[in-house]
């Protein structure tokens, strides 16, 4: 059909309907071409690097949804051992089903989950200390930090149980706390092992206020909180790389752990949807009705994960040290020099350490008070149970004594009735004997007369 149309047009010229609608067809073709090019541009670059991942141990936060889930899927497909740090326990039915699906899909049984609540400093310390408390040190080839949260625009700030603002806690302080405790495990890896820490960042750090400026409730907003947490995470990542490089191994070899920052771009993840809809049902309805716009302009989670694949597998990325930023599968420069400011990083590190120490002490006191209260409640419960048992035993004894007394009374009554019956029988026998005697007397008197 197209060949016949082209042949006819070349011989006889375009048909009448084509000549009359020529401009309209030009607009349609131009619009379609523009949309195709726009979609291709917004989809980003595709990773072409490859590296064997069989047997490598990869720890992932945020690996059950969004970009983190795609990274977990890809690494599981390549045979890596995946350790998912999740908010819910491994016994959760949805998480258990998700892990089993990954195992069955990629025929990889080396996938499991550990419960780590990133809003709780105690939960992070509990997991990390258990991980490093092992001899010899456990193998660890890669840490992928994808977990993040945000407060929708117009919503109130959320405070965790430790008394820390949620965005700051999950996006920055949880990663700081986790990496600080895992530092001995990372430094103890063999010198010939390629260890990478992939840190998810975002271009929002560019418009963040300086970390030198304090943020309080009056200046807080969801946008500022998210941007500031990403700026703090990026600044800490550079300081952490220097912290690792300054360590002198006993064997004299350098530390081969490298921190790599990854910007996946704007993706259609749950967090982005929550931001666009402002966390409201009305916003969700509008998002669904106008889904073509985010579909056209935003990446899918798989497209956003391409830069993570590149950072995880490219062999040349580690040349020249760590602290590199990967965006669209290539190395780019940081837009703010503050992320490499040593004074800012030192102050941020000290303040974070002091905040964690303060909050953990307060949380420890709360746990001790709660435990004491539970013990008191348990003692009271035991005393109550004992008193209930004593009361039930007393009531049982009383009921038994009542039953015994009632039985004794019944027995006595039966005995009295038996006595009465015997007495009546004896009286009757006596009366009958006396009557028989009197009748015999009368008969004898008659006979005598």
Tens-digit pLDDT profile for residues 236-286? 999 999 999 998 888 888 888 999 999 999 999 999 999 999 989 999 999
Specify the higher pLDDT residue, 145 or 363: 145
CA atoms of 407 and 426, how far apart (whole Å) = 28
Q: Give mean pLDDT, residues 320-345.
A: 91
Q: What is the mean pLDDT of the chain?
A: 86
Q: Give mean pLDDT, residues 53-62.
A: 93
Map residue 331 onto helix, strand or coil. Answer: strand
The reply to whether 347 belongs to the active site is no
CA atoms of 321 and 49, how far apart (whole Å) = 19
CB contact set of 114 (below 8 Å; sequence gap of 6+): 83, 84, 85, 86, 90, 127
Longest dimension (CA), the chain: 178
The percent of residues in the chain predicted with pLDDT above 90, rounded, is 56
Q: Which helix (H) or strand (E) holds 397?
A: helix 342-448
Q: Give mean pLDDT, residues 308-320.
A: 88
Q: How confident is the model at residue 407 (pLDDT cuts 50, 70, 90)?
A: low
List pLDDT tens digits, range 409-442: 667 667 667 677 667 666 666 565 555 545 555 5
Place of tokens 């019944």: 410
Confidence check: pLDDT of 390 > 80: no
Q: Give mean pLDDT, residues 183-208.
A: 91
Measured in degrees and rounded to the nearest 5, phi and psi for residue 186 equal -70, -40
56, 230, 299, 324: the active-site residue: 230
| Of residues 115, 103, 32, the one with CA closest to residue 72 | 103
- For 2-71, give the secondary structure using H, E and C: HHHHHHHHHHHCCCHHHHHCHHHHHHHHHHHHHHHHHHHHHHCCCCCCCCCCCCCEEEEECCCCHHHHHH
Q: Are strands 111-115 and 257-263 parallel, antiparallel or unpaired?
A: unpaired
Q: Give mean pLDDT, residues 313-328.
A: 88
Encoded tokens for 53: 């991942």
Confidence check: pLDDT of 75 > 90: yes
Place of tokens 């004074």: 343
CA atoms of 97 and 345, how far apart (whole Å) = 42
What is the structure's pLDDT at 449? 43
Confidence check: pLDDT of 403 > 80: no
Encoded tokens for 136: 């010899």
């Amino acid at each position: 059909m197209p060949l016949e149309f082209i042949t006819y047009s070349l011989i006889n010229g375009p048909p009448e309907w084509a000549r009359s609608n020529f401009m309209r067809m030009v607009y349609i073709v131009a619009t379609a071409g523009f949309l195709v090019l726009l979609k291709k541009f917004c989809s980003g670059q595709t990773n072409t690097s490859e590296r064997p991942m069989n047997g490598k141990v990869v720890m992932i936060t945020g690996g059950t949804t969004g970009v983190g889930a795609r990274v977990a899927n890809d690494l599981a497909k390549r045979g890596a051992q995946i350790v998912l740090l999740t908010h819910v326990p491994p016994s959760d039915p949805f998480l258990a089903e998700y892990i089993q699906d990954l195992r069955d899909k990629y025929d990889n049984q080396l996938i499991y989950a550990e419960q780590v609540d990133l809003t709780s400093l105690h939960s992070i310390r509990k997991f990390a200390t258990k991980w490093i408390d092992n001899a010899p040190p456990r193998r660890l080839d890669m840490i992928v930090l994808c977990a993040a949260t945000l407060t929708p625009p117009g919503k109130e700030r959320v405070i965790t149980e430790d008394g820390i603002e949620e965005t700051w806690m999950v996006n920055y302080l949880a990663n700081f706390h986790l990496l600080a405790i895992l530092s001995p495990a990372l430094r103890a890896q063999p010198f010939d092992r390629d260890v990478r820490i992939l840190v998810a960042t975002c271009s929002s750090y560019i418009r963040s206020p300086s970390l030198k400026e304090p943020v309080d409730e009056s200046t807080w907003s969801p946008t500022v909180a998210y941007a500031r947490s990403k700026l703090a995470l990026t600044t800490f990542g550079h300081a952490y790389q220097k912290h690792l490089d300054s360590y002198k191994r006993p064997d004299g070899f350098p530390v081969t752990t490298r921190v790599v920052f990854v910007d996946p771009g704007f993706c259609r993840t749950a967090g982005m949807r929550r931001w666009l809809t402002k966390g409201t049902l009305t916003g969700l309805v509008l998002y669904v009705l106008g889904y073509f716009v985010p579909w056209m302009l935003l990446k899918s989670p798989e497209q956003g994960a391409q830069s993570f694949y590149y950072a995880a597998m490219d062999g040349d990325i580690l040349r020249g040290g760590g602290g590199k930023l990967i965006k669209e599968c290539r190395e780019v420069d940081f837009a703010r020099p503050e992320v490499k400011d040593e004074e800012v990083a030192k102050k941020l590190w000290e303040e974070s350490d002091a905040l964690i120490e303060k909050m953990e002490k307060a949380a420890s006191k709360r746990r001790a008070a709660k435990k004491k209260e539970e013990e008191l409640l348990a003692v009271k419960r035991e005393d109550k149970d004992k008193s209930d048992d004593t009361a039930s035993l007393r009531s049982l004894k009383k009921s038994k004594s009542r039953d015994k007394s009632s039985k004794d009374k019944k027995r006595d009554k039966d005995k009295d009735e038996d006595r009465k019956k015997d007495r009546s029988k004896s009286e009757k026998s006596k009366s009958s004997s006396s009557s028989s005697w009197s009748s015999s007397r009368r008969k004898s008197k008659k006979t005598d007369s």
